[in-house]
Amino acid sequence: MSGDAQSSATDSGAESGATGSEAKSSAMGSLLIDGIGELTTHGPQGTLTGAALVIVDGRVAWVGPSEAAPAADRRIDAAGRAVIPGFVDSHAHLVFAGDRAAEFAARMAGEPYTGGGIRTTVAATRAASDDALRANVGRLVAEARRQGTTTVEVKSGYGLTSKEESRALRIAGEFTTETTYLGAHVVPEGVPADEYVRLVCGPMLSAARPYARWIDVFCERGAFDPDQAREILRAGLAAGLGTRIHANQLGPGEGVRVAVESDAASADHCTHLSPADIDALAGSGTVATLLPGAEFSTRSPYPDARALLDAGATVALATDCNPGSSYTSSMPFCIALAVREMRMTPAEALWAATAGGARALRRDDIGHLDVGARADLSIVDAPSHVHLAYRPGVPLIHQVIQGGEPI
Ligand code: NIG
Ligand code: FE
């Protein structure tokens, strides 16, 4: 694991980058947050107590001890609260219509999760208007933001035709730049698998491409096999998309191997890993993105986060928000699950939900609060980040600041 990931040492440290006077001279439109009880930077300065942070032009311009902070146009007194980087939710399926509460209730009464319910959502999504889909994405993005999420990746995958997949991505793009083409979610009913893979790699990819940054494939028994997944990721790469993959969710398989071979940004789920999968991830540039909301909601065993961390893999946490396997938009809930159920420390879980998510999206401007970072952060109504897991289910996000602007 990278060094800064584990950093929780208190460092009342020196000022970073910009000096006080430099920050002051460009203080038009600047915002000072002082009185920060605990500031998690995820950078060289580590975690600071009694800290302050100055934002200029939507970026972090100064970090240091509260008493040394330069003046700014506006000021927020954090009054001893903790400040953390905004959550980076690097895996969510938000473009859909309907819900599957009955499927969830049946599962809780003993039915297994198979992924077959995806087709129920496909039918509801195809029947919905653009405005209805847009309203649903907007509602979920706002819900996530209230819980501290400042970046969210949004996948298509409930359309499964060229027209429907490009529509989903166009709507997703109204809310985020992190849009992912998941035409390869399942093979739609009545279409031969080979024919569908050709469509996903050809005309559907061309229709999706203008609206997508990433391509994803559900590599799993009952969805797409490893060779089909390789072919789909290759086609996406050739079209200029970055690659990510749903891997080893419902059972062991080659998904993680496919991800590492193709230098995918992320292998997501990683619920059923062999020791060789763990070693492969640890020795690669592929992030292991864990989605404990899915295990919670499908009553499945959680992934072995400890084995991944101890082997040196980079771990991210994300919600997998979708109407079937994980209908939560809450990153604090995922942090609480990761700590309680997956034996991650609160500091590791916070890192995975912020800097880890940023790595999974190959972004270096978010997930941390060093000078120069995008000013995406939350003021937490608690003295430390530990409370995110220590007080599960409690709405602790006091104020969210996105791109330097209080929301
Ligand atoms: O990540 N695994 C595939 N896709 C989703 C589930 C989608 C659904 O059940 O609607 C997931 O869990
Ligand atoms: Fe998913």
In this predicted structure, what is the pLDDT of residue 28? 52
Pocket test for ligand 1, best of 245, 320, 327, 328 (most atoms within 8 A of CB): 320
The correct answer on CATH 2.30.40.10 for the domain covering 20-86+368-406 is: yes
- The Å distance, Cα 166 to ligand 1 centre, comes to 19
Percent of the chain's residues with pLDDT above 90: 92
Residues of the chain with pLDDT > 70, as a percent, come to 93
Residue 45 is labelled as binding a ligand: no
84 Cα to the center of ligand 1, angstroms: 29
What pLDDT is recorded for position 10?
29
323 CA closest ligand 1 atom index? 10
Q: What integer pLDDT is reported at residue 114 of this predicted model?
A: 85
263's torsion region: left (phi>0), alpha (psi -120 to 50) or beta? left
Domain definitions of the chain by residue range: 20-86+368-406, 88-360
Determine the 3-state secondary structure of 397 from DSSP: strand
Residues near 20 by beta carbon (within 8 Å), at least 6 away in sequence: 62, 64, 68, 69, 70
pTM score = 0.93
Q: What is the mean pLDDT of residues 214-238?
A: 98
For 274-329, the pLDDT digits (tens) are 999 999 999 999 999 999 999 999 999 999 999 999 999 999 999 999 999 999 99
Q: Does domain 88-360 have CATH number 3.40.50.300?
A: no
Residue 249 annotated as lining a ligand binding site: yes
Tell me, what's the pLDDT at 115?
A: 80
Q: List residues near ligand 1 (CB under 6 A).
A: 93, 115, 117-118, 121, 218, 246, 249, 294, 320, 322-326
Distance (Å) from CA 303 to ligand 1 centroid: 16
Measured CA distances, 289 to 138, 189, 267, 325, 357 (Å): 24, 29, 6, 16, 8
Instruction: Tell me whether residue 158 is annotated as binding.
Output: yes
Q: Which two tokens stand for residue 115?
A: 């992924």
91 CA from centroid of ligand 2 (Å): 6
Going by C-alpha positions, the residue among 175, 180, 173 that lies closest to residue 205 is 180
322 labelled binding-site residue: yes
Q: Is the pLDDT of residue 362 over 50?
A: yes
Across the range 167-178, mean pLDDT stands at: 98
Distance CA 337, CA 265 (A): 24
pLDDT digits (tens, 9 = 90+) for 2-24: 333 333 332 333 333 333 334 44
Ligand nearest to the CA of 219: 1
Contact of 253 with 241, CB cutoff 8 Å: no
Give the model's pLDDT for residue 20. Answer: 37
DSSP string, 339-392: HHHH---HHHHHHIIIIIHHHHTT-SSSSS-STTSB--EEEESSSSTTHHHHST
Residue minimizing CA distance to atom 8 of ligand 1: 324
Mutate to test the pocket of ligand 1, among 94, 325, 326, 328 (most ligand atoms within 8 A of CB): 325
pLDDT, averaged across the chain? 93
pLDDT of residue 6: 31
The residue to mutate among 290, 322, 326, having the most atoms of ligand 1 within 8 angstroms of its beta carbon, is: 322
Tokens read off for 281: 């991830």
Question: Which atom of ligand 1 is found nearest the CA of 121?
Answer: 10
Q: Is the pLDDT of residue 182 over 80?
A: yes
Q: Are 173 and 179 in contact (CB under 8 A)?
A: yes
Measured between alpha carbons, how far is 152 from 353 in angstroms, rounded to an integer?
A: 11
Mean pLDDT, range 330-356, rounded to an integer: 98
In this prediction, residue 313 carries a pLDDT of 98
Strand partners, 219: 224, 247
- Ligand 1 mutation target, pool 89, 93, 334, most atoms within 8 A of CB: 93
CA 68 – ligand 1 centroid, Å = 49
The answer to whether residue 25 scores a pLDDT higher than 80 is no
Give the atom of ligand 1 at the shortest distance from the alpha carbon of 118: 10
Q: State the distance from the centre of ligand 2 to the C-alpha of 13, rounded, in angstroms.
A: 40
Helix (H, G, I), strand (E, B) or coil at 405: strand
For residues 277 and 245, is the Cβ–Cβ distance under 8 A? no
Q: Is 6 helix (H, G, I), strand (E, B) or coil?
A: helix
Residue 324 marked ligand-binding: yes
What is the Cα gyration radius of the chain?
Answer: 21
First to last CA, the chain: 33
Token duo for residue 55: 């934002």
Residues around ion ligand 2, judged by CB within 5 A, are 320
- Residue with CA closest to ligand 1 atom 1: 320
- pLDDT-derived band at 167 (thresholds 50, 70, 90) equals very high
Nearest-10 Cα torsion for 6, 289, 284, 8? -10
Mean pLDDT of 122-149: 98
Tokens of 243: 């690659």
pLDDT, average across residues 42-66: 97
pLDDT one-digit tens code per residue, 229-255:
999 999 999 999 999 999 999 999 999
Nearest to 86 by CA among 394, 358, 381, 362: 358
CA of 285 to the centre of ligand 1 (A): 24
